[in-house]
Amino acid sequence: MNIKAAIIDHEMASLSEREIFACSQEQKEDIYRRALAHPEIQGTVLLNTCNRTELYLSVKDEITGPDPFAFLCESLDEEARDFASVAKVVAGDDALSHLCLLTSGAASQLLGDSQIITQVSDALSEAQEMDLTDGALNTMFRLGVTAGKKVRTDINLQIKDTSTVDLAVRVVEETDGVKSILVIGNGTIGRLVAECLVKKGYSVSMTLRQYHNKEAIIPAGVLTVPYGDRYRKMEESDAVISTTASPHVVITKKEFVQMAHYPKLLIDMAVPRDIDPEISEIEGVACYNIDELSGGSLKMLKPEQREQLQEYIGAYVAELHRWEEQRMKKEEDIKRLTSPERDRGERRYFPLFIDSMDRLAVVIGGGNIAERRILTLAEFGFRIRVISGTLSETLQRLMEAGLIEWQQGYIQTGEKASASNCVDLSEAAQGAWMLLACTNDRETNRAIGQFGRENQLLINVCDARNESTFWFPAVGLSDELTMGLVGTGKDHMNVKKAAAVLRDVIEKKEYK
């Protein structure tokens, strides 16, 4: 699995540096177009939130494949060397480990951020809808999201179910005199903020761009204001919370200072920033950006919490390894199966488990081989008819128990066919589903095999595999498992040894 990820987050990059890599929808689509056209890239996911930009690439070759940070910078017309200190690149296990930390809330700027799982899932869904992901990325993100949910459920990290939305609302509540609030932006975050504030009894208005009105979803109890009237509405508001996806500021100092009345609280939840940073210099106006809202770090966890978290992450990394091993085996199988040098007859007997209850199996012969096979067949509910001159003590007991029926006589061929105790093969096999030739006479077994094939019966000839339509397996049983094992016919002892080992494993349940 060759997955690389470029990570730019609050740990390494300041807000102003993160703004450079905060991709607009147009920029995201351009990155995806470039990735689709790149011959070395097999899958792409771009995660873009207020605190981070992360680009995940699945590449054909980890060495020759593109560096995700260089690819991101090139797509944004930036020089990678100018920003080397604000990003890191991780690959393989480290990429999944980071993703697990992120979804658990332990790598967020806001420790325990409850929105991050949704944001990660949405990033994957967006890439999938554009047919940009491959099996490796799909699997890694599935494991990452599952790990995040598992950590939050099972591990006591002492993390509250909180988010930047909760913190913004808390700042409003802690600011005296705030009654009316203007929310700029009608995206997911804006709607969540407005909805929370209405529930807490505030008077909330929300801006709408005219050309978006038909698609807008307005939370109950929220008034709407045309986006172009935002400054007028600000004059009437005690607080402003801005949450747009605009690549430029939407509240400039030049326009702000011309208002007759200033709101006492400004909260900028956008990256890039919506509110001109210079407005924070105005007396009487409290300004918060996303970094000033958030607080928290993985370092805040106790050592035992970090250790427990790493154990969980290690388990999901191991699961990714198992997936990769299965994928590689599948690739090897396809390569082998499609090879022009492959002999299609190399394996011509398929291991098939069928419903054997009350099906008639006719066993011809009464020696050791016949006895072993009859004992196996009796485990599976067959009706068993035995054709033989005599019965062993074991078979006699099975007959007395009603597990087999016995027809005394011999299937004879050639000169022996006139013997007084000869049994007609067609009569003996009447109603049979399976026919087993287990005599010690080669010619008799050959004739039984030919009869079975001509009559389209399942036929097993004990001394001639090439005359059989199925091979009789070595069987292992437990209350949970049924095992059938056959070899190539070259070494029966190897099959016997392997079967003994496997029987011991399943009987003792050592696979658990």
pLDDT one-digit tens code per residue, 75-122: 999 999 999 899 999 999 999 999 998 998 887 766 667 788 999 999
User: What is the structure's pLDDT at 107?
Assistant: 78
The answer, yes or no, to whether residue 294 has pLDDT greater than 90, is no
Same domain, 9 and 113: yes
Same domain, 26 and 153: yes
The answer, yes or no, to whether residue 495 has pLDDT greater than 90, is no
Same domain, 152 and 134: yes
Which residue segment(s) compose the domain that 394 sits in? 360-472
Same domain, 398 and 451: yes
Same domain, 222 and 152: no
Q: Is residue 441 part of a domain?
A: yes
**Which of 50, 73, 100, 196 is labelled catalytic?**
50
The answer, yes or no, to whether residue 211 has pLDDT greater than 60, is no
Calculate mean pLDDT across residues 316-331: 91
Q: pLDDT tens, 13-33? A: 888 899 999 999 999 999 999
Same domain, 168 and 272: yes
- Known catalytic residue: 50? yes
- Sheet of 223-226: strand order equals 223-226, 203-208, 180-184, 239-242, 265-268, 286-288
The answer, yes or no, to whether residue 158 has pLDDT greater than 60, is no
State percent of the chain over pLDDT 90. 62
Of 263, 291, 319, the residue that ends a domain is 291
Dihedral class, residue 284 (left if φ above 0, else alpha if ψ from -120 to 50, else beta): left
Of the spans 167-176, 222-231, 404-413, 421-430, which averages the highest pLDDT?
222-231
The count of domains in the chain is 4
Calculate mean pLDDT across residues 127-148: 95
Same domain, 94 and 114: yes
Give the pLDDT band (50/70/90) at residue 464.
Answer: very high
Instruction: Say which CATH number the domain at 372 has.
Output: 3.40.50.720
Q: Which two tokens stand for residue 437?
A: 């030739």
The answer, yes or no, to whether residue 491 has pLDDT greater than 90, is no
User: What is the structure's pLDDT at 301?
Assistant: 65
Q: pLDDT tens, 188-209? A: 899 999 999 999 999 999 999 8
CB 313 within 8 Å of CB 144: no
User: What is the structure's pLDDT at 217?
Assistant: 85
Same domain, 17 and 103: yes
Instruction: Give the Å distances, CA to CA, from 293 to 172, 267, 325, 408, 421.
Output: 11, 8, 44, 93, 99
Same domain, 39 and 149: yes
User: What is the structure's pLDDT at 276?
Assistant: 95
Q: How far apart are CA 448 and CA 410, in angstroms?
A: 12
Q: Is residue 123 part of a domain?
A: yes
**b/e 192-212 (16+ beta carbons within 10 angstroms → b):** bbbbbbbeeebbbbbbbeeee
Instruction: Give the Å distances, CA to CA, from 116 to 109, 121, 217, 367.
Output: 11, 8, 22, 70
Same domain, 379 and 392: yes
Calculate mean pLDDT across residues 149-173: 76
Same domain, 78 and 111: yes
Calculate mean pLDDT across residues 347-369: 89
185, amino acid identity: G
The DSSP output letter for 159 is -
Same domain, 484 and 463: no
Mean pLDDT value across the chain: 89
Calculate mean pLDDT across residues 151-160: 66
User: What is the structure's pLDDT at 374?
Assistant: 95
- Select from 175, 172, 195, 194 the least CA-distant residue to 183: 194
User: What is the structure's pLDDT at 413?
Assistant: 61
Of the spans 114-118, 274-278, 484-488, which averages the highest pLDDT?
274-278
Q: Where are the beta strands (DSSP E) in 49-148?
A: 52-59, 88-91
State percent of the chain over pLDDT 70. 92
Q: Is residue 336 part of a domain?
A: no
Of 232, 266, 291, the residue that ends a domain is 291
Q: Which two tokens stand for residue 369?
A: 């081989």
Of 272, 291, 310, the residue that ends a domain is 291
Q: Which two tokens stand for residue 488?
A: 């190539």
User: What is the structure's pLDDT at 212?
Assistant: 54
User: What is the structure's pLDDT at 45?
Assistant: 98
Calculate mean pLDDT across residues 434-438: 96
Q: How far apart are CA 109 and CA 51, in angstroms?
A: 7
Q: Say what the pTM is.
A: 0.62
Q: Is residue 313 part of a domain?
A: yes
Instruction: Say which CATH number the domain at 319 has.
Output: 3.30.460.30
H or E stretch at 241: strand 239-242
Q: Is residue 344 part of a domain?
A: no
Residue predicted with more confidence, 264 or 510: 264
